[in-house]
Amino acid sequence: MKIAYGSSKTGDVSEALKHITEPAALLFSVAKEEMLEQTAREITKRFPGVASIGGVGQAYIDKQFFDTGLTVIAMKENIKVVADVLEQASVMPVKYIRRLENAVRAVGGERGKTACFDICSAGADVRAVTTLSDYLCRLGYDLAGGTSNSAAIACNGRVYKDACAFFIFKNLNGKIKSYKENIYIHPHESAKQFMVTEADPREYRIRTLENTSAEKIYTSELGITRDKITTQTFKNPFGHVCDSDTYIVSIKGVEADGSITTFRPANRMDFLTILSMGNYREVVQDTISRIQHDLGKASAVLSVNCLFRYIMFNDDHYWESYLAEMSRSFSHAGMVGVGEHYNTQFVNQTMCCLAFE
């Protein structure tokens, strides 16, 4: 697969598309939700019949980062792509599962060569990921994606709210594989794990851990005061221990009753641990090495980086170096999301991607 791109700081679609030719699929991001409808409509008018999805957020292509206007990522050569949408994503996306089935059928789904990349409305992640992964992973197709920084997303020229837009890719020249990058230290066997004893998953609220307020557990373990909790998550997020893996849960806020709100729900009887920052430069190199080991010289990587990762990398003057490291090894493009999707899981503070052989 090859990646090309166009951009416009003013959001001018013609300017963003002027150097793009014969795309098989178009992934676009806009700085503001009010730009989404016109952008989606004009892209489809310029390239009728070409699969396109879009959302609100920043984007990057190789070493370049775009946080204003419009950015379009064009993918072409040796791929077959279909785009569609699951509506009512926070309520009943399974109602639209036939669209996903038809998309897989249309590309001629094949294990190891077929994968899904999605963008969903903010707040719709849990059911969207469950619905996508229940079908895809059962057939051996990987999933990676993320969340638009808005209630709206676009698919094939139309704007939807409370929805999940997706690409189904088939690589005609080799494999597609998903990856998840966790820059936090995984808990070892002796690390403390705390059972969630009271929670409101619909409100993304953890009330108690081990029958003690979540606030008290978190602050006492880290030796910090209550007012530090929302910034401490950059260094010490929660980790949801699931089998042999750990999925990051970012902290959003702390409430008067001592409960902690998060960007990903936790359920009663989940086990959480408090993660620590690892050497993220080494972790990035390890991700690159894993992709190269699995796929040889990967042709392209399409990713979603968490907004918190971007903020932290940028504050540490590493963001530009990160983009340079990734683009040194393969063509790399994607967007900054407010949530990330990896196969069966909705995660936070993570990078998730599809790598194409």
Phi-psi sector, 9: left (phi>0), alpha (psi -120 to 50), beta: alpha
- Nearest-5° angle of CA 18, CA 321, CA 144? 65
Half-sphere exposure of 161 (CA within 13 A, CB side): 4
With a cut of 60, say whether residue 199 has pLDDT above it: yes
The whole-number pLDDT of residue 246 equals 86
Digit-coded pLDDT (tens) for 273-286: 999 999 999 999 99
Percent of the chain with pLDDT over 70: 99
The whole-number pLDDT of residue 242 equals 82
- Residue 326 is encoded by which pair of tokens? 């990734």
pTM of the model: 0.95
The whole-number pLDDT of residue 91 equals 96
Confidence category of residue 186, pLDDT binned at 50, 70, 90? low
The whole-number pLDDT of residue 1 equals 96
- Residue 349 is encoded by which pair of tokens? 């503070």
Phi-psi sector, 43: left (phi>0), alpha (psi -120 to 50), beta: alpha
Closest CA to 350 of 232, 240, 210, 194: 240
Q: Quote the CA–CA distance of 49 and 27 in Å, as a whole number.
A: 14
* CB-based contacts of 186, cutoff 8 Å, min separation 6: 239, 246, 275
The whole-number pLDDT of residue 202 equals 93
With a cut of 70, say whether residue 190 has pLDDT above it: no
* Average pLDDT across the chain, whole number: 96
Digit-coded pLDDT (tens) for 237-247: 999 988 778 89
With a cut of 70, say whether residue 210 has pLDDT above it: yes
> What average pLDDT score do residues 128-149 get?
97
The whole-number pLDDT of residue 309 equals 96
With a cut of 70, say whether residue 354 has pLDDT above it: yes
The whole-number pLDDT of residue 191 equals 73
The whole-number pLDDT of residue 32 equals 96
Cβ-contact 182, 175 below 8 angstroms: no
Four-residue CA torsion sign, 117, 123, 128, 133: positive
Find the length of the chain. Answer: 357
Using DSSP, state whether 290 is helix, strand or coil. Answer: helix
Four-residue CA torsion sign, 100, 105, 109, 114: negative
Q: Quote the CA–CA distance of 185 and 282 in Å, as a whole number.
A: 12
The whole-number pLDDT of residue 268 equals 97
The whole-number pLDDT of residue 273 equals 94
With a cut of 70, say whether residue 188 has pLDDT above it: no
Q: Quote the CA–CA distance of 349 and 340 in Å, as a whole number.
A: 8
Digit-coded pLDDT (tens) for 29-85: 999 999 999 999 999 999 999 999 999 999 999 999 999 999 999 999 999 999 999
